[in-house]
């Protein structure tokens, strides 16, 4: 199996490089080789590589900045994956694409299922939904894996932001009324590899049978304040931090450019039913991340 992997410098892409190694020949490309803001380069690279499978974790992920750069965000998040799907279909290949809990509006109070109607409230969510729709409309064998609150030891994410702020500030305010599931980038990559290991050699047939949207997030639920509390509880390494007070606030008291869903917990039962996968509890994963970084 020849796999074209995008976004290798990102959180999920970097982890995927390691987990996919035993499943086939992995051709990894970053922004310098494959710029999703330049659609012509996408077609060129895919036709040159001739993969059996395209895996696309690359994305424009700066949620607030997307409000002032909607065209760029749509090109990278919405249009580029559609082009990948077209090229995959042309080759008789399959595609895995990653999406987000932000395709939902947060109006529910029970976990969202794949059959719930998306209604994104910010530009980032709208562009990610556009990709889902584009891939599905092409009719290529595909898996769209929606995840949430992705973090790890690379890139920009909530975990690294909290650790940095704790070294600089005595007081940090974090919202406690947005509910979701923090999901470690490595867990996402390992779950992807486990799905692929079930495909054996006939990737396109396997994906055609299993095609669709799946929710892939850590088990359990929390809010951003409790997530921050857990980070500082488990992260015993940071003796030098200045932080004295972690204060819970409401979303209305913390101004952001882009609106966030108040509730974006995803139900991953379909993933379990189709692939036999249950992701670890978010606290267990967080402890592992911080132990690894000692």
User: Residue 48 half-sphere exposure, CB side, CA atoms within 13 Å?
Assistant: 10
Please state whether 139 falls in left (phi above 0), alpha (psi between -120 and 50) or beta.
left
Is residue 90 classed as helix, strand or coil in its secondary structure?
helix
254 in catalytic set: no
Calculate the CA 17 to chain-centre distance. 15
What is the residue-wise DSSP string for 127-180?
HHHHHHHHHHHHT--EEEEEE-SEE-SSSS-HHHHHHHHHHH-SEEEEE-S-EE
Compute the distance between CA of residue 293 and CA of residue 117 in angstroms, rounded to an integer.
Answer: 39
Identify which of 95, 64, 111 has the alpha carbon closest to the alpha carbon of residue 216: 111
Cα–Cα distances (Å) from 106 to 46, 111, 118, 208, 263, in that order, read 36, 10, 10, 31, 4
What is the residue-wise DSSP string for 180-227?
E--EEHHHHHHHHHHHHHTTTT-HHHHHHHH-EEEE---BS-EEHHHH
> Beta strand 171-175 with 245-249: parallel, antiparallel or unpaired?
parallel
Determine which one of 124, 151, 225, 263 is catalytic. 124
Identify which of 137, 217, 136 has the alpha carbon closest to the alpha carbon of residue 183: 217
Residues annotated as catalytic (active site), given as ranges: 124
């Amino acid at each position: 199996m020849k796999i074209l992997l995008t976004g290798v410098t990102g959180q999920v892409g970097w982890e995927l490089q390691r987990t996919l190694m035993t499943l086939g020949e992995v051709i990894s490309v970053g922004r310098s080789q494959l710029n999703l803001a330049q659609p012509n380069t996408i077609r060129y690279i895919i036709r040159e590589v001739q993969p059996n499978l395209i895996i696309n974790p690359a994305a424009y992920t700066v949620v607030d900045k997307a409000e002032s750069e909607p065209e760029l965000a749509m090109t990278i998040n919405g249009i580029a994956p559609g082009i990948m799907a077209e090229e995959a279909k042309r080759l008789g290949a399959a595609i895995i694409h990653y999406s987000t809990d932000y395709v939902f509006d947060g109006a529910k109070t029970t976990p969202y299922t794949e059959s719930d109607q998306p209604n994104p409230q910010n530009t980032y969510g709208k562009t990610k939904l556009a990709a889902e729709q584009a891939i599905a409309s092409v009719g290529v064998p595909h898996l769209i894996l929606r995840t949430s609150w992705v973090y790890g030891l690379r890139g920009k994410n909530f975990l690294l932001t909290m650790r940095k702020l704790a070294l600089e500030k005595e007081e940090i305010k974090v919202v406690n009324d947005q509910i979701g599931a923090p999901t470690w980038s490595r867990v996402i990559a390992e779950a992807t590899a486990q799905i692929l290991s079930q495909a054996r050699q006939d990737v396109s047939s396997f994906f055609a049978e299993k095609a669709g949207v799946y929710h892939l997030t850590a088990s359990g639920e929390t809010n951003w304040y409790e997530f921050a509390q857990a980070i500082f509880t488990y992260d015993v390494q940071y003796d030098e931090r200045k932080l004295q007070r972690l204060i819970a606030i409401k979303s209305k008291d913390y101004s952001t450019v882009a609106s966030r869903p108040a509730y974006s917990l995803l139900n991953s039962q379909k993933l379990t039913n189709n692939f036999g996968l249950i992701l670890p509890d978010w606290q267990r994963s967080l402890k592992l991340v911080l132990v690894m970084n000692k």
